[in-house]
Amino acid sequence: MMLDPRYSRQILFPGIGADGQARLRQSHVLLVGCGALGSVLAEILVRAGVGRLRIADRDYVDETNLQRQALFTEQDWLSGLPKAVAAARHLKEINSQVEIEECVVDVDFRNIGLLLQSAGLILDGTDNFEARYLLNDASLKWGIPWVYGACVGAYGLCAAFLPGQSPCLRCLLEDMPPAGSSPTCDTSGVLGPIVHAVAAMEAVEALKILTGNAQHLSRKLTTIDLWENRVVSVDLSGREPDPECPACGKHRFEFLSGARESRTESLCGSSAVQIRCREPLGIPFEDLARRLAPQARVVYNEYLLKAQWDEIEIAQFRDGRAIIRGARGVDEAKRFYAKFIGL
């Protein structure tokens, strides 16, 4: 069968060839998150000729995204387009042969099963650990490989997980880092090149899986620091799934069941939303205040920390609760909290 000549250079690569390209054309991928990593991943896969790409993202294009989220334009920002919608529009112009489905949703335990229907691979474009543990649970329950990626500052990491064949994310990191303990792009910044570097690592692992070349997977957790010129890998090839792992060992899918979902609620009589995490804040207020100080006005006492931006205020309590005032609804409050506290 003659394949579209647009893929001729990719077909010439021995690792893919005509058979691999045909497999790619029949594949279906769920991409969760279409921000920095997700938008680059989406473009790479669409240009490569993936058959079907479902993009799920809860956010909209913001001016601050344009520095590193290469798929978006100023017009997307000025139009206030959801990222999934803006991405799909551009991607369809890049390759009309690919079936692209945009889903403007907050991916959670209620909808992940529906989003995964017919998908053969999950790609991580998220920005928080709760979402990644959800993807890990879904991967294990339905036997779907997934590729993890993350970046902040000039630092990033990537790993591919094959259910039943490799350790899962919770084998490596049994529980989520405490809220506020991890840097985010909005507190530590991010360089555009690290986004492309990590997305490239994720994309090549995805192509190996989709073209039937899983034997060439890295089988490593690779970390890279472009500013300090360091690449470090943790070899996972000799490790079996941990029988004591809550997820792949004991099959307790706590994130997929909703047992570990962070809870949000609008507070009656005020423009405030409460977010209630299941665990107390895991770091001292002094450390969180130091991290937030460059972007916000911060005060704290022994009971709570308050950070004030132009219109929005976060009050973070030691027991894990946070109250966000000034946000336009629950979704914006969750986005703002994820950006600055790291839910």
Active-site annotation holds for 171: no
- The catalytically annotated residue of 158, 185, 248, 277 is 185
Cα–Cα distance measured from residue 24 to residue 52, given in angstroms and rounded to the nearest whole number: 9
Distance CA 315, CA 78 (A): 30
Closest CA to 25 of 41, 2, 57: 2
Distance CA 190, CA 152 (A): 5
Determine the Cα–Cα distance for residues 188 and 210; give it in Å rounded to an integer. 34
Select from 275, 272, 277 the least CA-distant residue to 328: 272
Residue 272 three-state SS: strand
Per the listing, tokens 């590729």 go with 147
Edge-to-edge strands of the sheet including 220-225?
Answer: 99-104, 52-57, 28-32, 121-124, 146-152, 155-161, 220-225, 230-235
Q: Which residue do the tokens 């107390």 mark?
A: 280
Phi, psi of 147 (to 5 degrees): -120, 125
3-state helix, strand, coil in the chain (%, to 5): 35, 25, 40
337 CB-contact burial (10 Å; exposed 0-12 / middle 13-18 / buried 19+)? buried
Amino acid identity for residue 92 in this structure: K
At 343, list the tokens.
């839910």
* HEC letters along 86-138: HHHHHHHHHCCCCEEEEEECCCCCCCHHHHCCCCCEEEECCCCHHHHHHHHHH
Instruction: Please list the active-site residues.
Output: 185
